[in-house]
Amino acid sequence: MLAKAPRGTRDILPEEVEKWSTLEAFFRNLCKNYNYREIRTPIFEHTELFSRSVGEDTDIVGKEMYTFFDKGKRSMTLRPEGTASTVRAFLEHKLYAQAQPTKLFYFGPMFRYDRPQAGRYRQFHQLGAEVFGSVSPEIDTEVIALAMDFFHSVGLNQLSLEINSVGCPQCRPIYREEIQKTLDKYRGDLCPDCQGRFENNPLRILDCKVENCQEITETVPDILDHLCSFCVQHFEDVVYFLKLLDISYHINPKLVRGLDYYTKTAFEIVDTGLGSQNSLGGGGRYDGLVETCGGSPTPGVGFAIGVERVLLSLEQQNIQTKLLGVPRIFVAALGTKASARGLQLMTELRRLGIAAEKDYQDRSLKAQMKQADRVGASIVLILGEEELEKGKIVIRDMVKGDQQEVDLEGVTDFLRSSL
């Protein structure tokens, strides 16, 4: 059947787009308040960018990337995440030459060949933020605060912030050996994926969702007990600043991110009532990533949030996030002359930056009031032939349920001052 979207993708229909636009607007406004600037990168990149940055031994690179050869026989990949592309743009356009830190945000589609299920698609969408150029633990905390503020702004409060440190190139190799030493006698009991990870990427075993592997990894010592003094101090500072900002957290010593580039701070934000697919977003510090991509050593930290997961969480909790940009005023006009004047009035309001809509089907007043309610109007302007002759118009407040009559010629000034 040709008239069907590919498996793992979906159409976002007009009634849903309003919700998406609302989330994007909340995120954009919040990022601007935090002094982050928007960046937009290509949907596909050279495959090497992801294989080098994300990690050859990760599931993303090994199993999930959409890779193809273009007509020039160059290997290209649909981006599976947004950080690597942002790093590439940071280097290509020499953003490092500007005053640091560089603070960026983005949103857009990502692609991974995964098993589709609720809240998980092969084409999915992320909101993300990245900061380059600062080693300060205060920046780690700011990034976490930005993510948490976004969730709270859209009405999500049943959240758990899980944090950990995954060490640095100095202390992490020692911990890797500790994992291998501890799990060696259980090696044959691990799932096939974790058996493959044992030599090259043993930290990823801690992130396995197979129940048997989770039970086995309970025997692995905590990474927090194997950090170098610098990583210990950094993590303690992050925790201190989270307390200072009154951000609740839970230390999860088994938390590792699914990408190889993370160092020190790692965090994940989960919806405690969402079920198995409860992760709404996460991130951490990646001080070696810019250098891996060919730049000078530059610290970095960021996060990504899954839009589909956020929408699923809002739906399951029956949270109606206030829509931005929906018609705030509806012009209900009765009669040919009143309808024409209503069209003129609606256009005037729109040109003043006030969202407005009207009826085009010559419906009854009762039907138009229902339509106004459907489109989310907070104010209805009622104009009939009688009001038109008197030079008046009725303003009905849909929230309070009251109404008043004002002069038609002065209605735009009245609305502009009251709104």
- For residue 263, being part of any structural domain is answered with yes
Q: Which position has the higher pLDDT, 85 or 196?
A: 85
Provide the 8-state DSSP code for 207: G
pLDDT top residue among 89 and 208: 89
In this prediction, residue 187 carries a pLDDT of 85
For a pLDDT cut of 70, what percent of the chain falls above it? Answer: 95
- The average pLDDT across 297-313 equals 95
* pLDDT of 325 higher than 60: no
With a cut of 80, say whether residue 324 has pLDDT above it.
Answer: no
pLDDT above 70 (res 252): yes
The verdict on residue 214 lying in a domain is no
Residue 277 has phi, psi (to 5 degrees) of -90, 65
In this structure, are residues 333 and 341 in contact, taking their beta carbons and an 8 Å threshold? yes
Output the average pLDDT for the chain.
89
Q: Dihedral of CA 319/321/326/328: which sign?
A: positive
The three-state secondary structure class of 315 is helix
pLDDT band (50, 70, 90) for residue 322:
low
List alpha helices for 47-93, DSSP H.
47-53, 59, 83-92
Q: Residue 191 falls within a domain, yes or no?
A: no
| Residue 212 within a domain | no
Q: pLDDT > 90: what percent of the chain?
A: 60
pLDDT at 88: 97
Residues 266 and 292 in one domain: yes
Q: Which of 70-74, 124-128, 188-192 has the lowest mean pLDDT?
A: 188-192
Q: Is 104 a domain residue?
A: yes
On whether both 374 and 299 belong to a single domain, the answer is no
Here the tokens at position 373 are 């309610």
**pLDDT at 256 exceeding the cut of 70:** yes
366 and 337 belong to one structural domain: yes
Give the residue, 3 or 377, on which the prediction is more confident: 377
Residue 272 and residue 363 in one domain: no
102 and 146 together in one domain: yes
Residue 42 has pLDDT above 90, yes or no: yes
pLDDT tier for residue 60 given thresholds of 50, 70 and 90: confident
Q: What is the CATH number of the domain that holds 233?
A: 3.30.930.10
Domain boundary among 271, 295, 316: 316
pLDDT tens for 221-251 read: 899 999 999 999 999 999 999 999 989 999 9
Tell me the torsion sign for CA atoms 58, 225, 292, 96: positive
Using omega within 30 degrees of 0 as the cis cutoff, is the peptide bond preceding 192 cis? no
Q: What is the pLDDT of residues 350-375, one digit of tens each?
A: 888 788 899 888 899 999 999 998 88
Domain residues for the domain of 365 are 329-418
Q: What does the pLDDT read at residue 231?
A: 96
Residue 285 shares a structural domain with residue 364: no
Of 291, 316, 341, the one marking the end of a domain is 316
Residue 261 — pLDDT band, cuts 50, 70, 90? confident
d(CA 107, CA 292): 24
- Name, in order, each residue with C-beta under 8 angstroms of 404's C-beta and a sequence gap of 6 or more: 394, 395
User: Are 157 and 249 found together in one domain?
Assistant: yes
Please check whether residues 137 and 22 belong to one and the same domain: yes
In a domain, 236, yes or no: yes
Q: Residues 115-172: pLDDT tens digits?
A: 877 778 999 999 999 999 999 999 999 999 999 999 998 999 899 999 999 999 899 8
pLDDT at residue 38 tops 80: yes
Structure confidence at residue 380 as a pLDDT band (50, 70, 90): very high
| pLDDT for 326 | 57
Considering the domain architecture, whether residues 41 and 80 belong to the same structural domain is answered as yes
CB 106 within 8 A of CB 128: yes
User: Do residue 109 and residue 253 come from a single domain?
Assistant: yes
- Name which residue leads in pLDDT, 86 or 354: 86
CATH number at 377 reads 3.40.50.800
* End residue of a domain, out of 264, 284, 316: 316
Give the Cα-Cα-Cα angle 280, 281, 287 (nearest 5 degrees). 170
Residue 419 scores a pLDDT above 80: no
Model confidence at 275: pLDDT above 80: no
What per-residue confidence (pLDDT) applies to 57? Answer: 62
Sign of the dihedral through C-alpha 259, 82, 277, 34: positive
Assess whether pLDDT exceeds 90 at residue 280.
Answer: yes
User: How far apart are alpha carbons 367 and 251 in whole angstroms?
Assistant: 55
Distances (CA, A) of 329 to 159, 325, 390, 399, 409: 35, 11, 22, 12, 17
Question: pLDDT at position 113, please?
Answer: 92
On whether residue 199 sits in a domain, the answer given is no
Cβ–Cβ under 8 Å, residues 38 and 71: no
Q: What is the largest CA-CA distance in the chain?
A: 91
In this prediction, residue 327 has a pLDDT band, given cuts at 50, 70 and 90, of: low
Do 161 and 277 lie in one domain? The reply is yes
Same-domain status, 341 and 379: yes
Q: Report the domain count for the chain.
A: 2
Is position 293 within any domain? yes
Mean pLDDT of 383-408: 92
